[in-house]
Amino acid sequence: MSTLKRILVQKDRTCRSVWFMRQAGRYLPEFRKIRSQNQDFIKLCLNSELSSEITLQPIKKFDLDSAIIFSDILIAPYALGQEVKFIKDEGPELDDFILEKFLDINENEFSEKLNPVYKAIEITRSNLDKKKSLIGFIGAPWTLLVYMLNIKKNKTEIDFDKLNKNIINKNQILSKLIKFLSLHISNQIDAGADVVQIFDSWSGLIPENDIKDYCYIPNAKIVEFCKEKKIPNICFPRGIKEKYKEFNEMVKPEGINLDYTIDPMWAKNNLKNVVLQGGLDPKLLLESEELMLKGATKYIKTFQDIPYIFNLGHGLLPETDPDRVKKLIEFYRNY
């Protein structure tokens, strides 16, 4: 049994865990209350006590099988010297990338800046049922590069002219990102996390000729690091469609999260030697209860005879009714 399967096996189940991406977030009134009193998002992520409290909110409310630490993928660029702001209704904004400043940050400085994150993991682990797993996470190198170099025109397009201006530094930047993201993973595990998820949120925007260099190879190096350290890992190469198969064969993660564009039967037939996770469209939780449960049934039936973690194909949406989340969890567990 892989380390991921072993860590997710519950006392009365066999790899039948349920948790949701963004389960600690804006759809919960208790989170919105804390957020309204803490306008600076990065500072909130670095408030160890509040971060832990937010992490545990959905566990207390829904008794989910796993907690995922409340943080952000952009905490890594922050620790590597870039200012990160979150603009309301627009999303994250990073100041200009300065290569010399980026290269000047050392491992001790990086770890020290992120120490509040690791402290939050320690606090959470001490307050979390030992049978439940605690998930840490990182952004994959390509996705962080998109934000750090500010090369995303919109949700479907990358400014490759701007990227190519930095192409001479590409290998240098990616190499340091891989090294420091691996350190961030190791620090999270040392603090008490059991599993790490690697979010490559913008991998679907990479042209076919570049996907190996920007997606497969960086993810594979991080997964290889995890395997050497015996760290259970889940990859989420969102938006790469049928390239999920090639990704799985080249990167060889222990777990892979499906996005909601992937047909579950196709995934079952094509993604081998890996624990499958997620896939359900979070927008279904905004539809009728009948449609939501019909969608869930499709995934449950398809994956009923293989290791599968019930989750979504993206994060819970802010407008989601918490009662819907509760009904979905109960439906899955009682199926």
**Helix %, strand %, coil % of the chain (to 5):** 55, 15, 35
Task: Check if 72 is active-site.
Answer: yes
Asked about 35 being catalytic, the answer comes back as yes
Query: Catalytic one among 16, 27, 72, 216?
Result: 72
**Nearest Cα residue to 279 out of 294, 297, 257, 304:** 257
The answer to whether the CB of 256 falls within 8 A of the CB of 244 is yes
Is position 16 annotated as part of the catalytic site? no
Contact in structure between 180 and 76 (CB atoms under 8 Å) = yes
Tell me which of 16, 22, 125, 238 is the catalytic residue: 22
Q: Between β-strands 157-158 and 152-154, what pairing exists: parallel, antiparallel or unpaired?
A: antiparallel
Q: Is 147 a catalytic residue?
A: yes
Please indicate whether residue 26 is annotated as part of the active site: yes
| 3-class DSSP assignment, residue 255 | strand
Helix spans in 68-191 (H): 75-79, 99-104, 107-113, 115-127, 141-148, 160-165, 170-191
State the Cα–Cα distance between residues 182 and 187, nearest whole angstrom.
Answer: 9
* Catalytic entry in 27, 118, 147, 216: 147
Catalytic residue among 26, 213, 324, 332: 26
For residues 65, 32, 110 and 190, what is the CA-based torsion angle, rounded to 10 degrees?
Answer: -20
Query: Catalytic residue positions?
Result: 22, 26, 35, 72, 147
